[in-house]
Amino acid sequence: MAILDDLSGFEFEDLMEDVFRNLGYENVRQAARTADEGRDIIMEEVINGTHRAIIIECKHTATVGRPVVQKLHSAIATFDFDGPKRGMVVTTGRFTNPAEEYAGDLQQSDDPYPIELIDGEGLREIADDIGLDLYNGRIEILCQETLRPYDPAVDIDAPVQEAFRDINNINTAEVPTPHSQVSFRPVVTITANTNAVFKTSVGVIHQINDSTQFVIHAERGHPKVVDDDVGTLVTENFHATVTLDIGEFTESFDDVEEHRFGQTQTEYKEWAVDHLKDYHTTTVTYTGDNNVTYNKTCEPNRSDISVQSIEPVYLPVIRQTTELREYSYPHEYYAAGPSRVTLEDGIHRCVHCDTTGVDETYTYCPNCGAIACNRHIKTERLEEKPVCTGCAVTERFALQTKYFYDTENLNTFREEYADMAFYQKAMENTWLVGASAVTILLFIVGLFIIGGIL
């Protein structure tokens, strides 16, 4: 059965680089594609605490003979590495008997530079372990790990309770349990190095030596780099993942969704290389030998960009909705144990205007369940408690608007107001009383001035 036939030799090397990285080898990288001296990929493994270099020759051919193995043995011997070394030949086809005999003799004689042979059948076994599609050369995403959707030390609705503590006139102990939904969304953390030198007749005009790590949304559709705070949330909590067990999380959340990775690991690598090419492309101005100023666009080649790691994980999105009388308050955030990045805060938001944010003051109206800012919260005249402008019944007394929970309260106050003495009715509008007092005082002062007393 033919495998990976549509790949070029260089594409096969790229694929093998990804394969060995997925198998857990360290510092996996490709040698320069020109004059590679018989070594295509270089990587390291740790044996009993000692780093050992592995030099790999990739052959995308039907058969591999003894000369290829011999050439690799010489390349291992001359490879500059302070420690033990061994070799590996990988092919999509098969090895000839002389090639297998040569590698076997190295093993039996305890040669310091042994060589392992991996043929097409061996690749099939590796494919099962890492999700390699042998027909198109793509490595699938195999991921069962997620960041923690909640802090196990507290209740799931603790973030909502914390948010309601900022709201005036509400007893958080009486806030009903919110409806909780978790969506496990795939993300990929990519680490890559970009090294490029741009020269003209005057010498080096631009140089890139950059190590980059970024996180991308990995659902269906075009990949997108996450916001900085979300990227930090992922990278700082990557060490504290748990198994994505839908059954377990169903016991804790009302609704559970799992979104699949939209593309293969290979496709995310290709996208990352294109992204970094665009990111590092810049126009440089320099002066030539003839004292003429030139502009040159410096764009790194794909070979200048080396993807060091592609780490998939699920990022939980928690949406908790609290129902308070006539209103619903959503609270949505990315979660990683006790750490969170808020997506939507419907609690710190006035239901009557665009006022939002934790720096504002909000008050709860027990009459209708509204959370409102200071401009839309008034004091109920009869009970002297907060009522929002959206539900209050109003009427003017002593030329000032009064707010009431309902018409029953309004009628009760009408009766009280009717029985009040004149000065008590006047005090229902303290601003009017104050202005009248100032006016009278100014009138008296004016009379004294006219009469020559002052």
Over residues 282-298, the pLDDT tens digits come to 999 999 989 999 999 99
Classify the C-alpha dihedral 190-195-198-204 as positive or negative. Answer: positive
Beta bridge partners of 45: 52
**Local structure of 386: helix, strand or coil:** strand
Contacts of 190 (CB under 8 A, 6+ apart): 213, 214, 215, 216, 268, 269, 272, 307, 309, 310, 311
Percent of the chain with pLDDT over 70: 92
pLDDT of residue 439: 57
| Range of lowest pLDDT (129-143, 310-324, 335-349) | 129-143
Mean pLDDT score, 176-198? 96
pLDDT of residue 281: 97
pTM of the model: 0.79
User: Residue type for 193, please?
Assistant: N
pLDDT of residue 131: 84
Whether the predicted pLDDT of 440 surpasses 60: no
pLDDT of residue 165: 96
- How confident is residue 431, by pLDDT bands cut at 50, 70 and 90? low
Whether the predicted pLDDT of 353 surpasses 60: yes
Output the six-digit token pair for 274: 């294109």
Mean pLDDT score, 230-251? 94
Whether the predicted pLDDT of 109 surpasses 60: yes
Mean pLDDT score, 223-245? 95
| Range of lowest pLDDT (210-219, 253-262, 349-358, 421-430) | 421-430
- How confident is residue 36, by pLDDT bands cut at 50, 70 and 90? very low
Mean pLDDT score, 258-279? 93
Reported in sequence order, the residue ranges of 203-300 that DSSP labels E, i.e. its strands, are: 203-217, 224-225, 241-243, 255-258, 282-287, 293-298
- How confident is residue 450, by pLDDT bands cut at 50, 70 and 90? low
- How confident is residue 446, by pLDDT bands cut at 50, 70 and 90? low
In 3D space, the residue among 372, 365, 406, 407 whose CA is nearest the CA of residue 387 turns out to be 365
Whether the predicted pLDDT of 39 surpasses 70: no
Output the six-digit token pair for 281: 């492309």
- 95: phi then psi, degrees, rounded to nearest 5: -100, 145
Give yes or no for a contact between 141 and 131, defined as CB atoms under 8 angstroms apart.
Answer: yes
- The runs of H, that is alpha helices, within 114-217 are 120-130, 158-164
Whether the predicted pLDDT of 1 surpasses 50: no
**Local structure of 170: helix, strand or coil:** coil
Output the six-digit token pair for 21: 């990285």
Output the six-digit token pair for 104: 């076997």
